[in-house]
Amino acid sequence: MKKEIIRRIIKLVIQAQELALKIGIPNILQPGLVKEMIIAETLGHELIHSKRDADACDPNDSSIKI
């Protein structure tokens, strides 16, 4: 049972990475990125996935960093 769950998790992570690549995110496992995605989505912000920038920006004005 435990090994099957781990296999399913790995499969889902692979699928998530494939989706992330379609929007320009090269590494879905970058530390903190998934949490930043959840927070940005919850607050209605636009995610900035670069490690060297703010976590998000205003969806209507990308110059407003959050």
For 6-40, the pLDDT digits (tens) are 999 999 999 999 999 999 999 999 999 999 899 98
Which one has a higher pLDDT value, 60 or 26? 26
Structure tokens at 17: 């990475």
Which one has a higher pLDDT value, 50 or 2? 2
Q: Which residues contact 24 (CB under 8 A, 6 or more apart)?
A: 49
Whether pTM exceeds 0.85: no
pLDDT over 80 (residue 52): no
Q: What single string gives the DSSP state of each residue in 26-49?
A: S-TTSTTHHHHHHHHHHHTPEE--
Instruction: Give phi and psi for 63, each to the nearest 5.
Output: -75, -15
Task: Supply angle C-alpha 17, 22, 25, rounded to 5.
Answer: 60
